[in-house]
Amino acid sequence: MASTRKSPGFVQSYVLPALLLFALPLFGLWFSGHAAGRFDAQVLEVVEKEIGRDTTLSDADRQEALAFYRAVPASAACQGDGEELAGYRNSLGDACSDVKQFGWAHLASWALLALGIASTVIALLCGLAAFISRPFQYGSFVVGWLTLRISSALQVMGQGVLLVWLSYWVTALWTERYYPKLIGMMGILAAIAIFLVVTAIFRRPPTDFDVEAEELSEERAPELWACVRRLCERLQTPPPDHILAGIDTNFFVTEHEVRVGGRILAGRTLFVSLSLLRLLERSEAEAVLAHEMGHLLGGDTGHSKRLAPMLGHFGHYLQTLYEGGVTRPVFYFMAAYRGLFELSLGRSRRASELAADRLAAGVTSGQDIARSLVKVGAYASFRDRVEAKLFAQDEQHHSVAIAQRVAHGFSEYAGSEAVHDDLQRAVTPHPFDSHPPLAARMENVGVHLKPADMSQALLEPVTSSWVEAIVDAEAIEARLWGVYEERFAQAHDLALACRYEPATDAERQHVEKHFPPLVFEGKEAGFEVRMDYAQVSCTEWEQPVLFDRVASAATADRMFKKYLDLQVTGEGRFKGRRALCLSKLKEPDAALQAFENYLGRHRFMKAHRSESQAA
Q: Residues 35-53: pLDDT tens digits? A: 888 888 888 888 788 888 8
- The length of the chain in residues reads 615
510-614 CATH choice from 1.10.1380.10, 2.30.29.30, 3.10.400.10, 3.30.1050.10: 2.30.29.30
* Cα distance between residue 392 and residue 401, in whole Å: 15
Q: What spatial distance separates the first Cα and last Cα of the chain, rounded to whole Å?
A: 22
Characterize 225-263 residue by residue with b for buried, 16 or more Cβ atoms within 10 angstroms of its Cβ, and e for exposed: bebbeebbeebebebbebbbbbbbbbbbbbbbebebeee
Q: Give every residue of the chain whose pLDDT is below 70, as ranges.
A: 1-8, 82, 84, 87, 89, 426-434, 571-575, 615
CA proximity to 499, closest of 401, 395, 390: 395
| Three-state secondary structure call for residue 579 | strand
DSSP character for 585? B
Instruction: Report CA torsion sign: 354, 355, 361, 364.
Output: negative
* Cα distance between residue 537 and residue 528, in whole Å: 9
Query: Would you kindly state where each structural domain of the chain is located, as residue ranges?
Result: 14-202, 214-297+365-488, 510-614
Residue 212 contacts residue 246 (beta carbons within 8 Å): yes
| Three-state secondary structure call for residue 273 | strand
* Cα distance between residue 236 and residue 232, in whole Å: 6
What order of strands is seen across the sheet that includes strand 518-521? 518-521, 528-531, 535-538, 545-546
Percent composition of the chain: helix, strand, coil (DSSP 3-state, to 5): 65, 10, 25
Characterize 304-327 residue by residue with b for buried, 16 or more Cβ atoms within 10 angstroms of its Cβ, and e for exposed: beebbeebebbeebbebbeebebb
Q: Determine the Cα angle at 520 with ends 514 and 525, to 5°.
A: 160
DSSP character for 576? T
What's this model's pTM, rounded to 2 decimal places? 0.81
DSSP character for 586? S
* Cα distance between residue 318 and residue 323, in whole Å: 9
Residue 592 contacts residue 573 (beta carbons within 8 Å): no
**What is the DSSP pairing of strand 242-246 with strand 214-215?**
antiparallel
* Cα distance between residue 102 and residue 367, in whole Å: 73
DSSP character for 578? E
| Three-state secondary structure call for residue 530 | strand
Q: Alpha helices, DSSP H only, in 461-551?
A: 473-499, 505-514
**What is the DSSP pairing of strand 561-568 with strand 550-558?**
antiparallel
CA proximity to 344, closest of 149, 139, 116: 139
* Cα distance between residue 250 and residue 430, in whole Å: 6
pLDDT for 566:
93
* Cα distance between residue 157 and residue 234, in whole Å: 57
CA proximity to 122, closest of 139, 143, 142, 152: 143
396 CB contacts (<8 Å, ≥6 apart)? Answer: 492, 493, 496, 510
How many Cβ atoms are within 10 Å of 584's Cβ, its own excluded? 21
| Three-state secondary structure call for residue 567 | strand
* Cα distance between residue 14 and residue 9, in whole Å: 8
Q: For the residues of 83-136, what is the DSSP string, one character each?
A: GGGHHHHHHHTTHHHHHHHHHHHHHHHHHHHHHHHHHHHHHHHHHHHTTT-HHH
pLDDT for 61:
80
What are the start-end ranges of the E strands in 409-534?
518-521, 528-531
* Cα distance between residue 378 and residue 148, in whole Å: 43
pLDDT for 117:
96
pLDDT for 391:
95
Strand partners, 263: 260
Instruction: Report CA torsion sign: 363, 366, 371, 376.
Output: positive
Q: For the residues of 357-414, what is the DSSP string, one character each?
A: HHHHHHHS-HHHHHHHHHHHHHHHHHHHHHHHHHHH-SS--S---HHHHHHHHHHHHH
Give the phi and the psi of residue 416 in degrees, each rounded to 5: -95, 170
Strand partners, 242: 269
Give the phi and the psi of residue 327 in degrees, each rounded to 5: -90, 5
* Residue 9, H or E segment: none
Q: For the residues of 474-489, what is the DSSP string, one character each?
A: HHHHHHHHHHHHHHHH
